[in-house]
Amino acid sequence: MHFFRPLAVLPPLPAELSDLPDIAKNFFWAWEPGMDALFRWLDAELWEKMHHNPIAFLLSLPQEKLTEAAQNPEYLEIYHEYRKRFSSYMNAPTWFSGTFEQNHNRVIAYLSAEFGIHESLPIYSGGLGLLAGDHLKAASDLGLPLVALGLLYKFGYFNQQINPHGGQEASYPLLNFHKMPISPMTDGDGREIEVQVELSNHHSCRNVSLRIWEAAVGRVRLFLLDSDTPRNRVEDRQLTGSLYGGDHQTRLLQEMLLGIGGVRALRALGFEPAVWHINEGHAAFSVLERVRELVMKGLDPETAREVVRASTVFTTHTPVPAGHDMFNREVLSCYMERYYGQLGLDRDSFFGLACDPNKHEFNMTLLAHGHATYTNAVSRLHGDTSRRIFFSLYPNIPADEIPLTTVTNGVHIETWLAPEWIDSFQRLAGEEWRTPKASPEAWEKIARMPVAEVWSIRKEIKAGMLDKVRERLLTQKQRYYASPAEQAEIETYLPPDVLTIVFARRFATYKRATLLLRDKERLAGMVSDPEQPVQLIFAGKAHPADQAGQDLIRQIYNLSQQEPFKGRIAFLEDYDIETARYLLSGADVWLNTPRRPLEASGTSGQKAVINGTVNLSILDGWWPEAYNGDNGFAIGRGEVYPNEETQDYYDSLALYAIIEDVVIPNYYRRTNGVPRDWVNIIRSAWRSIPHFFNTGRMVKEYTSLFYVPLMKRSDYIAQNDYSAARRLKEFKRRLMDNWSQIQILQVNEDRPSTPVAGQTVSVTATVKLGAVTPQDVVVELVLGRTKDYLLLDTKGFPLIAGENLGDNTYRYSGAVSLTQGALGFTVRVRPTHPDLAHPFELPLVTWAPEF
Ligand SMILES: *Cc1c(COP(=O)(O)O)cnc(C)c1O
C-alpha cells in the first residue's frame, strides 16, 4: 500500500448556511429538541442512509439541496433557531459557575474505555458507555470544566446480523474517521499531535504512537486516541481496532494505551487536570502514569501515590469479583517491565499495588481503588454488593464503614425523550423538565397531563416504532431472498393494538433474555389469547466470544419463526442507540430480568419511564430505589436464592404471574377506549422517577461529593513542594508499621441493669499504644444495632484520654446516651489525622477483647 493523504471535501456551501460543517461537528444538535431537522429536512432518505452521521451526510449531499434550502424560509428558520440556541447554550451562565467560586474552575479529566453519545460514533457496547455519554452531556449542560478521554476504535464494537438459523453474525466495518463528526488534533503547523506509549520488557522495547481526535459534546471536549497511524508497526495499528474485541493481551495493551496514553495526550494538549475521574477499571493505568511523572520529578513513590490519590475518584460498575478486569502477571511483565523502575518499584512491589492478597492476578479495580480518595458504586444495592467485594482489603472493619459512596445512575433526559412529547412537556412545564433542572415540580406538572393526551401521544409513538421494526424485519428477510409471500406476511406482524413488551439490551447471560421463554405453553397462551394478547420484541448483541449469549438469541429467533409465535415475537438485529431510542419510547412495557444482584444499575428503564413506557423489572440495580408500588411493576420482592437454577425457576414464575394477573388486565381495562389505570401508572412514574434518575442530579452529586472536594484537596496536598503529601505518607507508614503494638488491655463499663432510652452507658478503657502517640488515634465507644452476630449502623463516640499509666498506656473514658432497641456497644481504636479523607482510609482498627 502506498501513502495517500485523506481529504474530506464538502459541497460548496451557500453563504447563508456556512455554519453547517461546524454544526455537524458538535453533538449538541443531536439532543437539543427538534434540531436533527437541520439535516433531515435537507434529504430525509440520505439522512437515514447515513445513519444520522452529519458529516457523512454533508459529504454526499447534492449541492442543489443546499441551494434550495438556502432560499427556503422554513429551513432558514430552523437554521437560525439552532444558531440562537447554540450560542445561548454555550454562553449562558451555568450551574457550576453560579455555585462554586472561580478558583474551583479547575479541569476535571474523565477517562473511560467507551462512550455512548450518538449512533454515528459507535464506540460503545452498553450501559457503561451510555452512562459516560450521558455524563458528558450533563457536564456540558451544567458548565463543568470537564474534558473526557477514550479510545477511537477503527471497527467500533461490531455490527450484528441474524442468519436464518438464528445465528449471530458479527461484522466489523472499517470506520472512516474522516467521514465522522470528529476532528484530528493538530499543532500550530497543521501537523497531527501524537503521543507515545512504550511497550517493553527486558529484551525488547517499542513505542506505539497515538493520534488524538476530538469530538465536541456541547461545551465538553472528548479526546479519542487512535493507534492506526503509518508510524506504527502493522500489528500495533490494530491495537485500537475494536472495543472489547481482542484477546487478553490486546485488552491489556488497549488499557495501557488508554491509561498511560490518555494522561500523555491530555498533557500534550496542555491540560493540567486537578481531578481525574476513572470510569471503571479499564482506565486505571492512568494512576500509574501520574505516579511515574511525579517520581521522575524526584518525589518518592509513596508520596507520589498520596498526591495521585488526592486528585482521583473511581467509579466501579461491577457487582461480582469475577467481573473485574484482571491481568496475568506474566502477560503484564511482557509489556510493562521497564515501567516498574520508572515508578520507583521492583516487580513484587509493583504487583503489590493491585493484587488481592489471595489472588495472583493484577486487578484493575484494586489498582484504581487504591489510588482514589473516593470510590463510588452506581446504585444503593450495588453499594452493598461492592462493599463485600472490598471486604478483604478492610479486615475487621464493618461493611457500612468501608470507604465507598453511592451515586445512583441517571440518564440525560433530552437524549432519550421522543420528539412527540416535546410540545406537551413545554406547554405544561416550560423548560424546567430538562436535564440540568429536572425539577420535581415540573415533573409533577407533566404528570397531570390529561389522560387522553397521554394515551394519544403514546399510541402515535408506538405505531411509529412498530412500523420501523417491521421495516427492519423486512430488510432482514430480504437479505436471505424471502419470497414475495413471506415478505407480505411481515406487514401483518406486530399489530399496534396488542400489548407490546420489549426486552432490549446486551445479551449477557445474567440478564436472562429467555426467562419468559421457560414455559413455552404458557407463553403461547399469552401471545395467542383472542381477547388480551401480548407480543414481544427482543433486541441486543451478544459478545462475539459469548456462545451462551448467542444461544439465547438463537432460541428467541427460532421461536419467532414458529407458530403460534410468528408475528408475535420478533428479534430485531443490531441494537444500538438509534434502535434503543425508538424501542424505549414506543414499547408499552420495558422488561428487565437480571439475576439479582448482578445489574449494577441499569439505566434503560429510566429512559423508558420518561417516555411513558412502563418499567417491569426484577428488583435489582436502580429499580429498588425507584419502585414505590404504583409507578411500574416489580418481578418478585428481591428474594435471595440458594442457586441460579432455583432463582431462575422462581423468578420466571413471578414474571408469568405478574404479566398474567396484573399487567395484562390493567392494560386492557378501558374506559371510552382509554386505559385510565395504565395511564395512572405512567403519571405516577413521571411524578416519582425522572426528577431524580437523571444525569443532571447525578453529575451535581459527583461535583459536590467528589470533584470540588478533590480540587481543594489536590491543591492542598501539592502546596510547599507536596509537604502535606509527605506528612500523610509518613503518618501512614508509621501507623502501618506500629499498629500491631496497640492493645486494649481492659474495659470497665457502667450501665443501668434494666436500661431505658435516655439513660447512659459509660466506659473506661485502658489502652496501650506502643510506638503510636495519643494524637494519632481515636479511642471510641461504638454503638450499633444488633442483627444476628453483627453490629450494624455503627456510630463512634470518642472517649477522652485521661491518666497516663506509664509504658505509653492511657486511660480513656466517656459515656453515650442510649436510644430504644436491640443495641450493642464496644470500644475500638482507629487512626486519626486531619488529612485523612475517611476514618478507614487506612484499613486499621483494634477492637476491645471480651469485657
Ligand atoms: C441505555 C442503554 C444501555 C444500557 O441499558 P441497560 O438497562 O443497562 O441494559 C445499553 N445499550 C443502549 C444502546 C442504551 O441506550
Per-residue pLDDT tens digits for 719-755: 999 999 999 999 999 999 999 999 999 999 999 999 9
Residue 126 Cα to ligand 1 middle (Å): 5
CA distances (Å), 587 to each of 70, 185, 459, 490, 605, in order? 38, 42, 10, 19, 11
Residue 125 Cα to ligand 1 middle (Å): 9
CA distance 624 to 627: 6
Mean pLDDT, to the nearest integer, of 12-40? 96
Query: What pLDDT digit, counting tens, does each position of 796-807 carry?
Result: 999 999 889 999
Residue 607 Cα to ligand 1 middle (Å): 9
Average pLDDT, the chain: 95
Mean pLDDT, to the nearest integer, of 387-414? 93
Mean pLDDT, to the nearest integer, of 541-549? 95
CA distance 249 to 239: 10
Alpha helix stretches (DSSP H) within 41-126: 44-49, 54-60, 63-71, 73-91, 95-99
CA distance 536 to 571: 9
For 87-108, b where at least 16 C-beta lie within 10 A, e where not — what string?
eebeeeebbbbeebeeebebbb
Atom of ligand 1 nearest to the CA of 505: 9
Residue 597 Cα to ligand 1 middle (Å): 17
Residue 504 Cα to ligand 1 middle (Å): 8
More confident residue, 790 or 321: 790
Name the closest-CA residue to atom 6, ligand 1.
Answer: 602
CA distance 568 to 238: 42
Query: What pLDDT digit, counting tens, does each position of 129-154 carry?
Result: 999 999 999 999 999 999 999 999 99
Name the closest-CA residue to atom 4, ligand 1.
Answer: 127
Contact 276, 706 (CB under 8 A): no
Is 357 a residue whose pLDDT tops 80? no
At residue 350, what is the residue type? F
Query: What pLDDT digit, counting tens, does each position of 645-694 carry?
Result: 999 999 999 999 999 999 999 999 999 999 999 999 999 999 999 999 99
Band (342; pLDDT cuts 50, 70, 90): very high
Distance of CA 541 to the CA centre of its chain: 18
Kindly report the length of the chain: 851
At residue 826, what is the residue type? T
Q: Given the DSSP bridges, would you call strands 183-184 and 168-171 parallel, antiparallel or unpaired?
A: unpaired
Sign for the CA dihedral angle at 286, 287, 292, 294 comes to positive
Which residue out of 414, 506, 573, 581 has the highest number of ligand 1 atoms within 8 Å of its CB and is therefore the one to mutate?
A: 506
Upper half-sphere CA count for residue 704 (Cβ side, 13 Å): 10
Cell numbers for 337: 517491565
Cell numbers for 383: 453499594
CA distance 236 to 325: 22
Contact 260, 284 (CB under 8 A): no
Query: What pLDDT digit, counting tens, does each position of 178-235 carry?
Result: 999 999 999 989 999 999 999 987 788 899 999 999 999 999 999 999 999 999 999 9
Atom of ligand 1 nearest to the CA of 416: 15
Cell numbers for 31: 439532543
Is 323 a residue whose pLDDT tops 90? no
CA distance 315 to 379: 11
Axis crossing angle, helix 127-142 with helix 695-702, rounded to the nearest 10: 80
Cell numbers for 169: 453474525
Which residue out of 120, 603, 689 has the highest number of ligand 1 atoms within 8 Å of its CB and is therefore the one to mutate?
A: 603
CA distance 554 to 442: 44
Assign residue 124 a region (left: φ > 0; alpha: ψ between -120 and 50; beta: otherwise). beta
Question: What are the DSSP calls for 149-218, one per residue?
Answer: EEE--TT-S-EEEE-TTS-EEEE-PPP-GGGSS-EE-B-TTSPBPEEEEEEE-SS-EEEEEEEEEEEEET
Name the closest-CA residue to atom 11, ligand 1.
Answer: 126
Residue 611 Cα to ligand 1 middle (Å): 15
Percent of residues, the chain, with pLDDT higher than 70: 99
Residue 576 Cα to ligand 1 middle (Å): 9
Q: Is 112 helix (H, G, I), strand (E, B) or coil?
A: strand
Residue 597: asked if its preceding bond is cis (omega within 30°), the reply is: yes
* pLDDT on residue 358: 66
Residue 132 Cα to ligand 1 middle (Å): 11
CA distance 621 to 626: 10
Q: Given the DSSP bridges, would you call strands 743-750 and 760-768 parallel, antiparallel or unpaired?
A: antiparallel
Is 109 a residue whose pLDDT tops 70? yes
Residue 646 Cα to ligand 1 middle (Å): 27
Name the closest-CA residue to atom 1, ligand 1.
Answer: 604
Question: What are the DSSP calls for 266-289, one per residue?
Answer: HHHTT---SEEEEESGGGTHHHHH
CA distance 29 to 17: 15
Alpha helix stretches (DSSP H) within 247-353: 248-256, 262-268, 285-296, 301-309, 329-342, 347-352
Residue 517 Cα to ligand 1 middle (Å): 22
**Residue 562 parent element (H or E):** none
Rg (CA), the chain: 29
Band (544; pLDDT cuts 50, 70, 90): very high
Instruction: Please count the other Cβ atoms lying within 10 Å of the Cβ belonging to residue 11.
Output: 16
Q: Is 386 helix (H, G, I), strand (E, B) or coil?
A: helix
* pLDDT on residue 356: 73
Query: What pLDDT digit, counting tens, does each position of 499-535 carry?
Result: 999 999 999 999 999 999 999 999 999 999 999 999 9
**Residue 784 parent element (H or E):** strand 777-787
Helices and strands: H and E segment counts in the chain: 33, 28
Q: Is 432 helix (H, G, I), strand (E, B) or coil?
A: coil
Q: What does the CA dihedral 321, 327, 330, 336 come to, rounded to 10 degrees?
A: -140
Cell numbers for 786: 444488633
CA distance 324 to 365: 6
End-to-end CA distance of the chain: 80
Mean pLDDT, to the nearest integer, of 28-48? 97
Sign for the CA dihedral angle at 658, 659, 663, 666 comes to negative
Residue 592 Cα to ligand 1 middle (Å): 11
* pLDDT on residue 1: 67
Contact 650, 641 (CB under 8 A): yes
Backbone angles phi, psi at 588, to 5 degrees: -80, -45
Query: What pLDDT digit, counting tens, does each position of 806-849 carry?
Result: 999 999 999 999 999 999 999 999 999 999 999 999 999 999 99
Query: What pLDDT digit, counting tens, does each position of 300-312 carry?
Result: 999 999 999 999 9
The residues, any chain, with a CB within 8 Å of residue 846's CB and separated by 6 or more, are 739, 742, 743, 744, 828, 829, 830
Atom of ligand 1 nearest to the CA of 605: 7
CA distance 446 to 14: 42
Query: What pLDDT digit, counting tens, does each position of 597-651 carry?
Result: 999 999 999 999 999 999 999 999 999 999 999 999 999 999 989 999 999 999 9
Name the closest-CA residue to atom 3, ligand 1.
Answer: 127
Which residue out of 604, 613, 623 has the highest number of ligand 1 atoms within 8 Å of its CB and is therefore the one to mutate?
A: 604
* pLDDT on residue 453: 98
Contact 41, 129 (CB under 8 A): no
Sign for the CA dihedral angle at 787, 790, 794, 796 comes to positive
The residues, any chain, with a CB within 8 Å of residue 821's CB and separated by 6 or more, are 785
More confident residue, 143 or 322: 143
Contact 150, 139 (CB under 8 A): no
Query: What pLDDT digit, counting tens, does each position of 447-474 carry?
Result: 999 999 999 999 999 999 999 999 999 9
Atom of ligand 1 nearest to the CA of 504: 9
Return the ∠ at Cα 222 (arms to 13 and 375), rounded to 5°. 160
**341-348, Cβ contacts within 8 angstroms, sequence gap of 24 or more:** 342/292, 342/295, 342/296, 343/288, 343/291, 343/292, 343/295, 343/301, 344/295, 344/300, 344/301, 344/304, 345/301
What lines the ligand 1 site, CB under 6 Å?
Answer: 126-127, 130, 505, 576-577, 580, 602-604, 607
CA distance 260 to 284: 9
Residue 580 Cα to ligand 1 middle (Å): 7
DSSP state of 619: S
Contact 475, 518 (CB under 8 A): no
The residues, any chain, with a CB within 8 Å of residue 746's CB and separated by 6 or more, are 765, 766, 851
* pLDDT on residue 391: 85
CA distances (Å), 435 to each of 32, 442, 487, 750, in order? 11, 11, 42, 55
Which residue out of 505, 610, 611 has the highest number of ligand 1 atoms within 8 Å of its CB and is therefore the one to mutate?
A: 505
Name the closest-CA residue to atom 5, ligand 1.
Answer: 604
Atom of ligand 1 nearest to the CA of 411: 1
Residue 493 Cα to ligand 1 middle (Å): 26
Axis crossing angle, helix 440-447 with helix 422-429, rounded to the nearest 10: 120
Backbone angles phi, psi at 198, to 5 degrees: -90, 130
